[in-house]
Amino acid sequence: MAREDYEVVMGLEVHAELSTKTKIFCSCPTKFGAKPNTQVCPICMAMPGTLPTLNEKVVEYAVKAGLATNCEISRNSKNDRKNYFYPDLPKAYQISQYDKPLCEHGYIEIETSKGKKKIGITRIHIEEDAGKLDHDDLGGGALVDLNRAGVPLIEIVSEPDFRSIEEVDSYLKKLKSILEYIEVSDCKMQEGSYRADVNTSIRPIGSQKLGTRTEMKNMNSFRSITRALEYEIGRQVEVLDNGGTVEQETRKWDEVSGKTFSMRDKENAEDYRYFPEPDLVAIKLSEEYIENIRKTLPEMPESRKQRYLNDYKLSEKDAGIITSSKYLSDLFEKAGEICGNYKAVNNWIISDISRILNETEMDPIEIPFDAKQLAKLVMLIDKGTISSSIGKKVLVELFKNPRDPEEIIKEKGWIQISDEGAIKDVVLKIIEANPQSVADYKGGKERALGFLVGQAMKETKGKANPQMLNKMFVEELKK
C-alpha cells in the first residue's frame, strides 16, 4: 500500500519542569546550570533516613496547568513510588503519581491547515526529575550529578488523538505557550525543561484496531520531532508493506543520520512495582483552594489574539504568531505601549525578529533585549533619525549586544542625514557623476531616478533620508 493508505495515530507524553524556586521534596534550589552536586542535600541525595515533604507550590502549579487545559481536578490525590534502578535515581524509586493523578479528562484546542481540533488530555500528574549522568571521557566512567534530582515535573499525557505531524507540532507549540502564559514552566527546550515522549503507530485507513506503537523518548526540539516522525512513519509503512510487523519498543532518534534505532534493551519488560508512597500523606484539595487558583489564571492566548485583531487590526496570521509565545506577546504589548506604533512593532516581530530566532534556533524567551529597546528602535525610525534599513542593522546589534539603540547608532555613526544642505551636496555630486542616467531620466525613463537615489544611498552608507533624497533629485533634475 502507499503511505496514503495508512492512518497515523500518535499520542504524546510531555514533561515540563515547573519553575518553582525549590525542589519538589526538599528546599534545594532548582536553578539550571550550577556546578555539579552543588544544589543537593541529604534528602535529594537519598541519604538513609531522610524523608520527603511535598512542596505546596508544585501542587498549585500542576492544578493551574490542569485548569488551563480544561481538566477535572482531583479532590483526593496521592503520590506513588515507581521503582527502578539507575544511577541518576538515588532512591531507586521516583516519587510520581499512578492511579490518582491531580488532573484528568482535559483537552486543548489546536489549529492546523485543516482547521480546529480538540486534543484530549488524559491526565496531568506531578513527579520528580532524576539527576544526570555525565560521561567522563577521560576515565571512561560516568559521573552522577544530582542537581536536577528532585526538580518538579508535570507529565501531561494526551489521548492518541493525533492523525498528522502537523497536529503534533501544533499541539506541542500550543501546550508550551499555555504553560508559559500561566507561568508554571519556562519551557526552555534546550535545557530540557520541556520535552516529549512520542508514541506512534499506523493502521490501514478504515481500521478500528490500533496498530502496534513505538515510543521515542525525551525529544526536545520541534524540528527533531517533525523529522523523527517523518522517518518513523515511513519506516513503519515500509515494515508493514514488506509483510513485517511493527515491534512494540522504544526507539532512539539520531539527529545526525536522520534515522530512528531500536533501543533493544527490552525496557518494555520493566515492572515498576508502583505502590502508594508511605512517606507522604494524601493530597486533599478543597473547592475553595481550586477556585482560588482558578481566579489567578491569566488571559490566555485566544483571548489575547482576539484583542489584537480588534484593537490593533493585526492580521489573523500575525496575531497567531505573536500570541503563540507569551514572551513575544508581552514584548509586543509592552513595546507597542511605549512607542504607540503597534503596527510597526508587529512588523518587526513577524519579519526580522522571527527570522533571527529561526536562524539561531533561539526560543523567544531567550531574546536578549527588552521591550523598551525595541520601542526605541521603532521610535528612531518614526522620527526619521534612522532609516528602516539602518533599523535592521540596529536589530542585529540588539541581538548581539543589547543596549539603548540611540547609543548604538551614535557609536556606529548611523544617524540619518536629514540636513537639506548635506543632502543637496550628495545629490549634485551624483548627478554630476552619472550623466547617462540623468539623460535617461530626462528622456522619460522614470526608472533612472531609482538608480540615482540608490547611488546616493551608497555614497552615504544608507544614512541619507530616502524621502528627502527623492524629493531633492526630482527638484534638481527638473532644472
> Is there binding between residue 45 and another protein (CB under 8 A)?
yes
Distances (CA, A) of 398 to 413, 431, 465: 16, 37, 22
Nearer to another protein, 82 or 176 (CB): 82
Stretch that binds another protein, among 51-59, 103-111, 168-176, 438-446 (CB under 8 A): 51-59
Residue 66 CB, nearest distance to another protein (Å)?
23
**AA letter at 287:** E
DSSP string for 59-94: HHHHHHHHHHTTPEEPSEE--EEEE---TT-TTSEE
Question: Could you say which of 263, 280, 309, 415 contacts another protein (CB under 8 A)?
Answer: 280
Question: Could you say which of 4, 137, 271, 316 contacts another protein (CB under 8 A)?
Answer: 271
Nearer to another protein, 283 or 448 (CB): 283
Nearer to another protein, 276 or 466 (CB): 276
User: Which 102-161 positions form the footprint of another protein (CB under 8 A)?
Assistant: 144
Residue 53 CB, nearest distance to another protein (Å)?
5
Stretch that binds another protein, among 81-89, 100-108, 317-325, 349-357 (CB under 8 A): 81-89
Judged by DSSP in three states, 367 sits in: coil
Sketch the per residue contact string, 355 through 394, with another protein: x for CB under 8 A, - otherwise: ----------------------------------------
> Is there binding between residue 278 and another protein (CB under 8 A)?
yes
Q: How far apart are CA 409 and CA 236, in angstroms?
A: 56
Q: How far apart are CA 393 and CA 400, in angstroms?
A: 11
Nearer to another protein, 55 or 387 (CB): 55
Stretch that binds another protein, among 41-49, 252-260, 418-426, 430-438 (CB under 8 A): 41-49
Q: Which residues pair with 254 in a beta bridge?
A: 259
| Backbone φ/ψ region at 340: left (φ over 0), alpha (ψ -120 to 50), beta | left
Q: Are 430 and 448 in contact (CB under 8 A)?
A: no
Q: Measure CA 106 to chain center.
A: 22
> Which residue, chain included where needed, has cell 507561568?
183
Nearer to another protein, 143 or 433 (CB): 143
Question: Could you say which of 54, 149, 377, 380 contacts another protein (CB under 8 A)?
Answer: 54
> Is there binding between residue 269 and another protein (CB under 8 A)?
no
Question: Could you say which of 7, 22, 34, 83 contacts another protein (CB under 8 A)?
Answer: 83
Number of Cα atoms under 13 Å in the Cβ half of residue 338: 17
Question: Could you say which of 15, 78, 91, 117 contacts another protein (CB under 8 A)?
Answer: 91
Distances (CA, A) of 81 to 84, 187, 275, 278, 398: 10, 26, 6, 9, 48
Question: Could you say which of 21, 264, 273, 442 contacts another protein (CB under 8 A)?
Answer: 273
Residue 330 CB, nearest distance to another protein (Å)?
37
Stretch that binds another protein, among 150-158, 205-213, 272-280, 403-411 (CB under 8 A): 272-280
> Torsion angle of alpha carbons 338, 343, 347, 350, nearest 10°?
90
Residue 279 CB, nearest distance to another protein (Å)?
5
Residue 392 CB, nearest distance to another protein (Å)?
53
Q: Measure CA 479 to chain center.
A: 58
Distances (CA, A) of 161 to 147, 230, 235: 36, 17, 21
- The closest alpha carbon to 315, from 347, 341, 338, belongs to 347
Residue 137 CB, nearest distance to another protein (Å)?
17
Stretch that binds another protein, among 88-96, 121-129, 161-169, 439-447 (CB under 8 A): 88-96
Question: Could you say which of 114, 262, 265, 275 contacts another protein (CB under 8 A)?
Answer: 275
Question: Could you say which of 5, 29, 47, 445 contacts another protein (CB under 8 A)?
Answer: 47
Residue 272 CB, nearest distance to another protein (Å)?
8
- The closest alpha carbon to 158, from 168, 166, 150, belongs to 168
Tell me the three-class secondary structure of 384-436, residue by residue.
CCCCHHHHHHHHHHHHHCCCCHHHHHHHHCCCCECCHHHHHHHHHHHHHHCHH
Q: At CA 100, angle to CA 96 and CA 102, rounded to 5?
A: 75
**Residue 377: all three cell numbers together:** 528602535
- The closest alpha carbon to 232, from 10, 479, 468, belongs to 10
Question: Could you say which of 33, 49, 206, 421 contacts another protein (CB under 8 A)?
Answer: 49
Residue 382 CB, nearest distance to another protein (Å)?
58
Question: Could you say which of 50, 112, 212, 460 contacts another protein (CB under 8 A)?
Answer: 50
Residue 89 CB, nearest distance to another protein (Å)?
9
Q: How far apart are CA 466 and CA 41, in angstroms?
A: 64
Nearer to another protein, 92 or 297 (CB): 92
**Residue 336: all three cell numbers together:** 507597542
> Is there binding between residue 93 and another protein (CB under 8 A)?
yes
Residue 47 CB, nearest distance to another protein (Å)?
7
Q: Residues, the chain, total?
A: 479
Binding site for another protein (CB under 8 A): 42, 45-54, 81, 83, 85, 87, 90-93, 144, 271, 273-275, 278-281
